[in-house]
Amino acid sequence: MFVDQVKVHVKAGKGGNGIVSFRHEKYVAYGGPFGGDGGKGGDVIFEADPGMTTLLDLRYHRKIQATPGENGKNKRMHGANGDDKIVKVPLGTVVKNIETGQILADLTQPFQQQIVAKGGRGGRGNCHFKSARNTAPKYAEDGFPGQEYDVIVELRTLADVGLVGFPSVGKSTFLDAVSRAKPEIGDYPFTTIAPNVGVVQVKDGRSFVMADLPGLIEGASDGKGLGHQFLKHIERCRVIVHLVDMGGEEGRNPIEDYRIINEELKSYNLRLLDRPQIVVANKMDLDEAENNLKAFKEAYPDLEVFETTTIIHEGLDPILTKAANLLEKTPPFPIMEEETMDTGVTYTFEEKKKDFTIEHLQEGLWKVDGPRLERIFDIKKLNTEEDFYLFANRLRYLGIDNALREAGCQDGDTVQLCGFEFEFIEN
């Protein structure tokens, strides 16, 4: 089964917690804090594997999670780092963040690796919090959570030359004739429902990879037919071989077919038209082929058209030689837009997200919420007077005290925080 798109959930490992420990040794007076740091959480790493051709494995493993780091130990010993989770995918795989649309990985080289989700930093042990005012701190820092989100993993066929055209124009027959690939061939539309890839050998010894891409139809760029499932595989190709059914079977008009396919390429991505095209007039053995070819050349006088009959392997060598020549002078077309920029730095303004929000629920009742609060608040860590003192200082550092006063919070009001209620007291 060919699978070229999968939605998965990735979660990097949480950092280990620092610990509270004190040095207790004979003849060592006032040993002081001795708690070690937690280990770093494991990363989620995607790796390109040349031996893979489909994303079928990910279809049955929709949740990918790395190992958390170990907690710190006494004697200032560092906890072990979590193991990275390496996910093997085929060459040509792109990983996107669903929420932001950002490309997190574009794997085009054998065994290339890219971190998709970074593990959390380990928390510091109490030995880091010693000061002249507090020589024996009884608190430590929790580990930070790793990155976690949903991603789309897409396989975009990694080929040098792509065959495009309407269904049943002879793309599969062409690939079968010039390589050892064995695509399914039939006299009905959409015989090919997944890309087929083969290595093509030119007579002068040069070789390249060619992909038989499933047939396009009008409106494919808007998702009609199999739409984007077809077009995305063309993005990797450096040269496009455009096959036109010059026999005009099933009442088709070669002139309109050529125009419609190019419009679909343009609508999907303007950069697809930057690739050099080799126009092939196929099925020249049919009765109306000569007349249709004459009309086609009159409609597009500037085009170089190669005539062929793929079913009998006629006229193939000039096309392969032309493709090899174009590949020598055509650079790769990267998918990540930032790679195409020459020099310089682009600065953009983005409004900083608020660390917290304050909501007035009713008279005497307030609610404070925010992602940063959830990271620093843990009711299980509020066990000693020092823990409460540290937590209060963190709230004061974030400016929550002043923000509540400015919002109108009065002495004795109740403040909800992460599911718990506290009394607001003015000093």
* Binding positions for GTP: 165-172, 190-194, 212-215, 282-285, 309-311
One DSSP character per residue, 86-99 reads EEEE-TTEEEEETT
Q: In a 3-state reduction of DSSP, which class is residue 225? A: coil
Burial annotation 139-153 (CB, 10 A radius, 16+ → b, else e): bbbbbbbbbeeebeb
In 269-377, alpha helices (H): 289-299, 317-329, 371-376
In the annotated binding site for Mg(2+), the residues are: 172, 192
- Dihedral angle, C-alpha 162, 167, 172, 173, nearest 10 °: -120
Handedness of CA 97, 98, 100, 103 (dihedral sign): positive
3-class DSSP state for residue 73? coil
Q: What gap in Å lies between CA 69 and CA 112, rounded to an integer?
A: 25
Which residues make up each annotated binding site?
165-172, 190-194, 212-215, 282-285, 309-311
- The count of C-alpha atoms lying within 13 angstroms of the C-alpha of 421, restricted to the half-sphere facing its C-beta, is 7
b/e 2-31 (16+ beta carbons within 10 angstroms → b)? ebbbbebebbbbbbbbbbbbbeeeeeeeee
Q: How many other CB atoms sit within 10 Å of the CB of residue 308?
A: 24
**Beta strands 420-423 and 414-417, pairing class:** antiparallel
Burial class (CB in 10 A: 0-12, 13-18, 19+), 156: buried
Amino acid at 254: P
Is residue 266 within 8 Å of residue 254, measured between CB atoms?
A: no
Torsion of CA 264, 266, 271, 272, to 10 degrees: 30
Query: What's the one-letter identity of residue 380?
Result: K
CA distance 92 to 380: 46
- Do 296 and 305 meet the contact criterion of CB atoms below 8 Å apart? yes
Token pair for 178: 């010039």
How big is the chain, counted in residues? Answer: 427
3-class SS of residue 267: helix
Spatial separation of the C-alpha atoms in residues 324 and 280, rounded to whole Å: 15
